[in-house]
Amino acid sequence: MPSSLLRRGLSHIQPSSPTPPLTHPDCGIMDPSPNASTTTSQAAELSNRGLLGWPTLALLGLATYVALCSLLRFKRIQSVRARYGYTDRASLARMTNQDAHEIAENLIYLEFPLLYDLSMRLALFETYAVENIAKLLVTVSDLNKWDTLPKRFAAFPPTSTQLHKAIARMNFLHAPYIKTGKIRQEDLLYVLYASMAEPIRFLNIFEWRQLDEMEAAAIVTMWKYTGDMMDIDYRTVLQKDDWEDPLEFLKDVTEWASEYEDRYMRPVKEVQALGQILMEFLLQSHPKFARPVAYPMALVVIGNRLRRAFGFPEPSLAMTVLTYSLLLIRKLVIRFLCLPRIIPVEYISQPDKTTGRIKHYHYMKEPWYVPDTFWSRWNLETLLTWVCGGMIPGDGGADMKPDGFLFEDLGPKNKVGKGIQETLELEEMVRQRSSAGCPFAVATKP
């Protein structure tokens, strides 16, 4: 090796009494030791042969690239923290709904788009594993569009008309079931809990870095604001309705949700039937040859409690180790070898200026609301979907609504296009409650 050769060359130099340096009238000080010049010539010869230079340059280049990846990846979170000024726990009490939306957008569309999307799917799995919710969903839900609603909330600012319309439509769809007691306040709160807590938990375990307090608080604030406009009765369920900051709210709701799951997340027949439908739907987004591996991996990721509730089998130890190993490798590769994303993922469009319709750009199996364009049909993601047995934009024709959706299109088939006037009235109520300000600092403590 080059370094060992250099050491052997240097070992021939014996210590001796100091010798005054030789000088040359043109060159200045000269090295009195012939061994030093010999060693230099040896190193030069090794470098010329490529034994010293190229490996060193390759390692230096790799180290530089890794350092650049780390610098740029952490520079973004440092920049966001400096921009908004949420540098400690005390500052989180003044986080506004608008700031929370912008910070969450950075997480969802730039930092962690893939696993945030996956965590929201897992959050829906959790809500479907609750007995009361499962019984209702089995009878009224259109499961082919089960993964789309959370993206709509995150896409729109807190005072936007689009967010008001989305929440008003959801309130309209929930209202008959709330009135008859089929949906309880605690059921609504649990759905809210899963939507904000599961992404935080999931990203902290599987992403290349954990969320800091500011980012966790932004997710909580965004969903707490949604819960406010759903008119969730926190005092009835939690025996309080004001909190010092978002993290205190998350703590209280998490403690309550643990007891709620103990009571209602049980392996009843409706839950197990729904679990089978959801798992089949999830596996259909993978090619058939990959499903024997994708299925046990999904069982590992969903965790013990959901597996028991849905009646799924326990994955083997080997599959558990493989799944966590692959996720760890992904984490390390992104952390040290991938430059940060600079173009945000786009899940849905802004409303069309003429029609008001909103298009999707991301789907699992069926291209609901996805425009039928050359790029949407033949991009890499679409081709992978096709290989996995899914449909591509344009398949299914007008039934897939390629021109996009209006909010009155949302809901079970028997509700599509209905309740327009009622939704408008609810939209006005939502608009009056909306605010870009801080939902926590204004609270009055007893």
pLDDT band at 19; cut points 50, 70, 90: very low
Residue partners of 129: CB distance under 8 A and separation at least 6: 265, 271, 274, 275, 305, 306, 309, 310
Q: Which pLDDT does position 286 carry in this prediction?
A: 74
pLDDT of residue 141: 65
Q: 358 and 405 in contact (C-beta within 8 Å)? A: yes
Query: Whole-angstrom Cα distance, residue 262 to residue 102?
Result: 35
**pLDDT, tens digit, 9 for 90 and up, residues 163-172:** 999 999 999 9
Q: pLDDT tens across 172-195, in order?
A: 999 999 999 999 999 999 999 999
Whole-number pLDDT of residue 52: 55
Greatest alpha-carbon pair distance for the chain in Å reads: 105
The lowest-confidence range among 46-50, 105-109, 364-368 is 46-50
Please give the pLDDT value at position 277: 84
Q: What are phi and psi of 41, to 5 degrees?
A: -65, -35
Return all residues near 354 (Cβ < 8 A) that are at least 6 apart: none
CB atoms within 10 A of CB 432: 10
Q: What is the DSSP letter of 360?
A: B
Which residue, chain included where needed, has tokens 């173009």?
343
Is 265's pLDDT higher than 60? yes
pLDDT in tens, 27-65: 344 444 444 445 555 545 545 555 457 888 888 889 999
